[in-house]
């Protein structure tokens, strides 16, 4: 540390204010993020690696991991398609009811996940609107995989669209118009012009949606039925193990979710860094011309 | 990255061995019964295979008793339900119409193959000198009970305290009400289920007394070690009947009535009763009970029917704005 305070450009606060603020932020992050995260792994490895691994290759745990992956593998591509279509429509075109559509897309953010799950029970449960018809035709939606996918779709609905709309609005539609004028078809314009422009934002949205899809508890809990080895996702399985006093198992499965969060974080930083580099390169190219 | 993930999926799909079964039963049960059925299901499978040559797979679903009943009403395809209070199965009969309202008469002992009772669990050495229900109302004693609005476990505790107060010399409804109110003033946390309450008491170290089922006390001993707590049997307690029933609408549709009925009947067999006793559930079978009598101290018991039965109890105590709500509201004001 030099004795002479070096003041970084924008503000000219005294050093102790700077250190106090940084210190507070770091303490807060340490207490509320790092300590719990470490404790998850500490509890999981409490009784050694062997038990940890045994807890993960347990039949019920494997089926929970499988169901979680399958759910995400169905929900994310669907939300990606929808998100791109919605963002495209909203950012590039003007139509009646546009603000209503934006509000509807945001709805899952403001609705409690438990309510989101209950909505599907009310629709597809035995006493719901479609319940009797579904039962007659022997179609299972809630308390089965389709219900879990639906609930996950609902809670991850806004992520991709929300990420893309501001980006696409900022980019405007000049490039698309130019492409059209030069004779490109709608698809060509989308694949060659729009998609390359939004790819980083799109990836960012997908990563966030995926993290939420795998970690969702409330909505899925309501529609799952908690059948062991059948309709438990990882978060539900963690709760069950915890209630069985199987703390090693519970935290071992929780550590998978924590690892997923860390991977998500790393991917997210990488995407942000990549996107920034891309814009800088584009700017440099534009300046050079 | 993406291709690798998709390469992994089929591998995972295959890894869950699809058990070739002749019949699959779904047993929708409450929270703390998982240990019992973990032992009972293999015993039944062996028995059924020996008797009919058929392989039957039993799937389990566990959660709070009332939410589980709710799920069955909404269409969870349970072949059998195994709950901790009659009112939960009554709800399935009345609201879901998935089984007849006289379900409790279809099996012996009010359709309850075993019973339990509410006991007091205190910290090692019983530092607060807890001996009976009246010690729980002393100031400075913290009691952990799950919420009677959501947990059968909590309801039994509430009713046990109510019954105790009624049966004291000079006891009457007014005094019982004051007694229960004083007891719930000493409750620092109301967990939603029995397991949550145990975790609060043992894991988070909150409270001086945990009131829960006798069989849950044994689970605590197995998991947390016997040296950390003591079980106190009160002078009088409530007998908790743990009823079971086939869900007619489901088994008739699936064609599993035969297996489902036998699955429940086998609970009354000497084997089933022994598994119950080993899990500290009080068996109905006299011979099995005698064999395990050492682990079941005799306690004076009263039943839910002594207090008027679940229907009357629900209306009087647990429905919205009934006595429990009034007590909770008054206690909240005093705090």
Interchain contact A70–B (C-beta under 8 A): yes
Query: In terms of CA atoms, which chain B residue is nearest residue A127?
Result: B74
What pLDDT is recorded for position A11? 65
Residue B9 confidence (pLDDT) above 80: no
B276 pLDDT more than 60: yes
Average pLDDT over residues A113-125: 90
Name the interface residues of B facing A (CB cutoff 8 Å): 5-6, 8-9, 12-13, 15-17, 26, 31, 34-35, 59-63, 71, 73-77, 96, 193, 195-196, 199, 219, 223-224
For residue B14, the chain A residue with the least C-alpha distance is A66
Domain ranges of chain B: 2-113+242-268, 115-240+299-334
Asked if A155 and A108 touch (Cβ cutoff 8 Å), the reply is yes
Q: What's residue B211's pLDDT?
A: 95
Residues of B in contact with A228 (CB under 8 A): 59-62
- Encode pLDDT of B169-207 as tens digits: 998 999 999 999 999 999 988 888 888 899 899 888 899
Specify the pLDDT at position A272. Answer: 83
Spatial distance between the Cα atoms of A253 and A173, rounded to a whole number of angstroms? 46
**pLDDT of B306 higher than 70:** yes
Residue B59 to residue A230, Cβ atoms within 8 A? yes
Dump pLDDT digits (tens) for A188-239: 888 888 888 888 889 889 988 998 999 999 999 989 988 988 899 999 999 8
Dihedral pair phi/psi, residue A157, rounded to 5°: -50, -50
Mean pLDDT of chain B, nearest integer: 89
Using pLDDT thresholds of 50, 70 and 90, give the confidence band for residue B14.
Answer: very low
Tokens standing for A268?
A: 């997210």
CB contact under 8 A, B15 and A62: yes
Q: What is the CATH number of domain A48-283?
A: 1.10.3720.10
Q: What gap in Å lies between CA A16 and CA A3, rounded to an integer? A: 13
Cβ atoms of B261 and B111 within 8 Å: the answer is no
The answer to whether the CB atoms of B75 and A244 lie below 8 A apart is no
Confidence at B56, pLDDT banded by 50, 70, 90: very high
How far is A35 from chain B, CA to nearest CA, in Å?
17
pLDDT, tens digit, 9 for 90 and up, residues B200-217: 998 888 999 999 999 988
pLDDT at residue A289, as a whole number: 64
Name the more confident of B14 and A177.
Answer: A177
Q: Report how far apart, in Å, the C-alpha atoms of A161 and of each of A81, A142, A186, B46 are.
A: 10, 26, 20, 54
Partner residue facing A126 (CB), from B12, B75, B224? B75
Inspect the interface and report whether the beta carbons of A131 and B75 lie closer than 8 Å: yes
> What integer pLDDT is reported at residue B48 of this predicted model?
95
What are the C-alpha distances in Å from A209 to residues A27, A157, A205?
Answer: 29, 8, 6
Q: For position B291, what pLDDT does the model report?
A: 95
- What separation in angstroms does the CA of B129 have from each of A125, A204, B267? 50, 60, 39
pLDDT at A8 over 70: no
Percentage of chain B surpassing pLDDT 70?
93
Res B29: pLDDT = 93
Q: What would the mean pLDDT of B110-126 be, rounded to a whole number?
A: 94
- In CATH terms, the fold of domain B115-240+299-334 is D-Maltodextrin-Binding Protein; domain 2 (3.40.190)
Interface contact B76-A225, CB threshold 8 A: yes
b/e B135-145 (16+ beta carbons within 10 angstroms → b): bbbeeebebbb
What's the mean pLDDT in A125-145?
Answer: 87
Across the range A159-178, mean pLDDT stands at 88
**What pLDDT is attached to residue B258?**
94
Q: Is the pLDDT confidence value at B19 over 50?
A: no
pLDDT for A177: 86
pLDDT over 80 (residue A250): yes
- Which sign does the torsion angle of CA A259, A261, A262, A264 carry? positive
Q: What is the pLDDT of residue B20?
A: 52
> Confidence class of residue B124 from pLDDT cuts 50, 70 and 90?
very high
Q: Is the pLDDT of residue A43 over 90?
A: no
Interface of A with B in 102-161 (CB under 8 A): 121, 124-128, 131, 135, 140, 142-143
ipTM score for this prediction = 0.74
User: pLDDT by residue (tens digit) across B46-55?
Assistant: 999 999 999 9
Interchain CB distance below 8 Å, A229 and B16: yes
Flag whether pLDDT at B39 surpasses 70. Answer: yes
Q: Which two tokens stand for residue B267?
A: 């609970």
CA distance B60 to chain A (A): 6
Name the fold adopted by B2-113+242-268. D-Maltodextrin-Binding Protein; domain 2 (3.40.190)
pTM of the model: 0.80
The answer to whether the CB atoms of A226 and B9 lie below 8 A apart is no
Of B17, B31, B75, the CB nearest to A142: B75
d(CA B154, CA B87): 14
């Amino acid at each position: 540390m030099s004795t002479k305070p070096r003041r970084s450009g924008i503000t000219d606060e005294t050093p102790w204010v700077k250190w106090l603020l940084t210190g507070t932020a770091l303490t807060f992050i340490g207490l509320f993020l790092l300590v719990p995260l470490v404790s998850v792994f500490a509890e999981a490895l409490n009784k050694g690696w062997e038990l940890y691994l045994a807890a993960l290759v347990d039949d019920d745990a494997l089926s929970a991991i499988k169901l979680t992956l399958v759910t995400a593998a169905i929900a994310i591509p669907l939300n990606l398609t929808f998100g791109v279509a919605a963002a495209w429509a909203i950012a590039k075109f003007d139509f009646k009811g546009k603000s209503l559509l934006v509000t509807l897309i945001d709805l899952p953010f403001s609705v409690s996940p438990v309510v989101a799950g209950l909505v599907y029970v009310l629709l597809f449960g035995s006493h719901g609107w479609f319940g009797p018809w579904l039962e007659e035709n022997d179609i299972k939606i809630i308390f089965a995989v389709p219900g879990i996918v639906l609930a996950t779709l609902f809670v991850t609905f806004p992520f991709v669209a929300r990420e893309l709309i501001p980006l696409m609005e900022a980019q405007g539609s000049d490039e698309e118009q130019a492409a059209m004028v030069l004779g490109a078809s709608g698809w060509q314009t989308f694949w060659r012009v729009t998609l390359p422009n939004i790819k980083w934002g799109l990836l960012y949205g997908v990563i966030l949606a995926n993290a939420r899809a795998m970690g969702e508890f409330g909505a899925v809990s309501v529609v799952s039925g908690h059948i062991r080895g059948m309709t438990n996702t990882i978060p539900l399985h963690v709760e069950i193990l915890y209630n069985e006093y199987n703390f090693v198992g519970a935290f071992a499965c929780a550590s998978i979710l924590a690892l997923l969060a860390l991977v998500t974080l790393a991917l997210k930083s990488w995407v942000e860094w990549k996107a920034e580099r891309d814009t800088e390169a584009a700017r440099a190219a534009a300046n050079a011309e | 990255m993406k291709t690798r993930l998709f390469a992994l999926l089929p591998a995972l799909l295959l890894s869950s061995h699809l058990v070739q079964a002749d019949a699959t039963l779904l047993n929708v049960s409450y929270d703390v019964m998982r240990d019992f059925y973990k032992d009972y299901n293999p015993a039944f499978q062996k028995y059924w295979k020996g008797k009919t040559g058929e392989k039957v797979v039993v799937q389990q679903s566990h959660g709070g008793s009332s939410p589980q009943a709710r799920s069955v009403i909404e269409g969870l395809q349970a072949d059998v339900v195994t709950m901790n209070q009659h009112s939960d199965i009554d709800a399935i009969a009345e609201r879901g119409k998935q089984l007849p309202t006289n379900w409790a008469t279809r099996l012996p002992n009010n359709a309850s193959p075993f019973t339990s009772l509410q006991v007091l669990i205190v910290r090692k050495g019983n530092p607060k000198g807890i001996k009976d229900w009246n010690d729980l109302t002393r100031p400075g004693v913290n009691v952990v009970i799950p919420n009677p609005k959501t947990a059968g476990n909590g309801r039994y505790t509430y009713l046990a305290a109510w019954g105790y107060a009624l049966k004291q010399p000079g006891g009457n409804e007014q005094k019982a009400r004051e007694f229960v109110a004083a007891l719930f003033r000493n409750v620092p946390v109301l967990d939603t289920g029995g397991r949550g309450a145990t975790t609060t008491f043992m894991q988070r170290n909150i409270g001086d007394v945990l009131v829960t089922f006798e069989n849950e006390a044994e689970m605590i001993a197995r998991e947390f070690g016997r040296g950390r707590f003591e079980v106190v049997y009160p002078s009088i307690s409530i007998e908790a009947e743990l009823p079971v029933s086939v869900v007619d609408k489901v088994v008739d549709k699936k064609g599993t009535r035969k297996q489902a009925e036998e699955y429940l009947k086998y609970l009354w067999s000497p084997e089933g009763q022994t598994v119950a006793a080993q899990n500290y559930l009080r068996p109905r079978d006299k011979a099995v009970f005698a064999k395990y009598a050492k682990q079941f101290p005799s306690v004076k018991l009263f039943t839910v029917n002594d207090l008027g039965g679940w229907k009357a109890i629900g209306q009087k105590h647990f429905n919205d704005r009934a006595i429990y709500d009034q007590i909770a509201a008054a206690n909240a004001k005093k705090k």
